[in-house]
């Protein structure tokens, strides 16, 4: 028997497969299709302090080997997530979940993370720092090492659960940002978030997405994600959850060889709702094919 169990900051997962935030709702939607308890965990829909309607429509544009989305963090707000979504989830998922948290100011991150930290169902807090800083000229918190460290420190001061900082790839030096997060107390890194992209409709001669540009995800960004995970793994001593274009068990192994301890599957869930189930079922087969008995033996194995 092969061992697919991995350890994220003391949280032991049956396998490294985690559906990515924004592609799996709050889980119970997918529980109608299969038993989601086969997952290692999952990262629920990006949650903010206040409810958000999200961006105007259309929000999605098709691309070669991927898609562009500009949903705009549509969610019911942290209070309703705690009072309504988590109880519904508890009925169909009996493992700790990853709580994906976003904010537009340090105060918002602190408020939301402190609240979600108290929830028994939450095993890891994943802090998305790709949001625009409303008090910092609108630049994303994740575009500078200093602001990324500020968010990390602020969140760590009010939480007890492991905190993983989700990094944006839309930067010139992702390694320095990852190191700043580690020095500020991050327990782990999640990477990469979407790249920026745009499609233009030839008939209307206008951008397809109402917000003009959005996050580009899907198989085309996989090599970018592997490269960035590889570089960050060499620079930090905390676990990495790798993501970006993963759609097969072989992709999981490749990302782990680059340095990821676990992985997240995003756009693939929107193409095939059974994507994660298939990856988990195929993982032991792929491991046997490449002579891998224990996934822990291959983390960072390409270095």
Mean pLDDT, the chain, integer: 96
- Please state whether beta strands 214-217 and 66-69 pair in parallel, antiparallel, or not at all (unpaired): antiparallel
pLDDT digits (tens, 9 = 90+) for 71-108: 999 999 999 999 999 999 999 999 999 999 999 999 99
Alpha-carbon distance of 147 to 153, in angstroms, equals: 10
pLDDT of residue 133: 75
Alpha-carbon distance of 34 to 7, in angstroms, equals: 25
**Tokens 């790249």 belong to which residue?**
195
- Please state whether beta strands 214-217 and 195-197 pair in parallel, antiparallel, or not at all (unpaired): antiparallel
Is 92 a known active-site residue?
A: no
Residues facing residue 69 across a β-bridge: 60, 215
3-state secondary structure 11-63: EEECCCEEECCCCCCCCHHHHCCCCHHHCCCCECCCECCCCECCCCCCCEEEE
Alpha-carbon distance of 155 to 184, in angstroms, equals: 10
Q: What is the CATH number of domain 6-54+73-196+216-297?
A: 3.20.20.70
pLDDT of residue 137: 74
Q: Which of 63, 92, 113, 131 is catalytic?
A: 131
pLDDT digits (tens, 9 = 90+) for 119-170: 999 999 999 998 777 787 777 899 999 999 999 999 999 999 999 999 999 9
- 10 Å Cβ neighbour count for 303? 10
The two tokens of residue 26 are 């709050």
* Averaged pLDDT for residues 204-222: 96
pLDDT digits (tens, 9 = 90+) for 244-278: 999 999 999 999 999 999 999 999 999 999 999 99
User: Which secondary-structure segment (H or E) carries 201?
Assistant: strand 200-201
Q: What is the DSSP letter of 36?
A: G
């Amino acid at each position: 028997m092969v061992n697919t169990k991995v350890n994220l900051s003391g949280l032991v997962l049956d396998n490294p497969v985690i559906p990515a935030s924004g592609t799996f709702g709050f889980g119970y939607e997918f529980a109608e299709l299969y038993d989601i308890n086969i997952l290692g965990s999952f990262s629920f829909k990006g949650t903010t302090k206040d409810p958000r309607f999200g961006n105007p429509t259309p929000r999605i544009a098709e691309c070669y080997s991927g898609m562009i989305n500009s949903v705009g963090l549509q969610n019911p707000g942290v209070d309703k997530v705690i009072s309504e979504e988590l109880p519904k989830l508890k009925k169909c998922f009996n493992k700790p979940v990853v709580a994906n948290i976003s904010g537009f100011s340090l105060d918002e991150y602190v408020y939301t993370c402190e609240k979600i930290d108290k929830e028994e169902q939450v095993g890891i807090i994943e802090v998305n720092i790709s949001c625009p800083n409303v008090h910092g000229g609108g630049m994303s918190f994740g575009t500078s090492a200093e602001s990324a460290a500020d968010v990390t420190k602020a969140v760590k001061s009010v939480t007890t659960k492991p905190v993983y900082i989700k990094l944006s790839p839309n930067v010139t030096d992702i390694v320095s940002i990852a190191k700043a997060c580690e020095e500020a107390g991050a327990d782990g890194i999640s990477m990469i978030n979407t790249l920026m992209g745009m499609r233009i409709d030839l008939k209307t001669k206008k951008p397809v997405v109402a917000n003009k540009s959005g996050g580009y995800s899907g198989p085309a960004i996989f090599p970018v994600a592997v490269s960035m995970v590889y570089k960050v793994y060499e620079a930090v001593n905390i676990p990495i959850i790798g993501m970006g274009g993963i759609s097969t068990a072989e992709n999981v192994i490749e990302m782990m060889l680059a340095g990821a301890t676990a992985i997240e599957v995003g756009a693939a869930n929107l193409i095939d709702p059974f994507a994660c189930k298939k990856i988990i079922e195929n993982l032991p087969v792929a491991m046997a094919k490449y002579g891998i008995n224990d996934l822990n033996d291959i983390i960072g194995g390409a270095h």
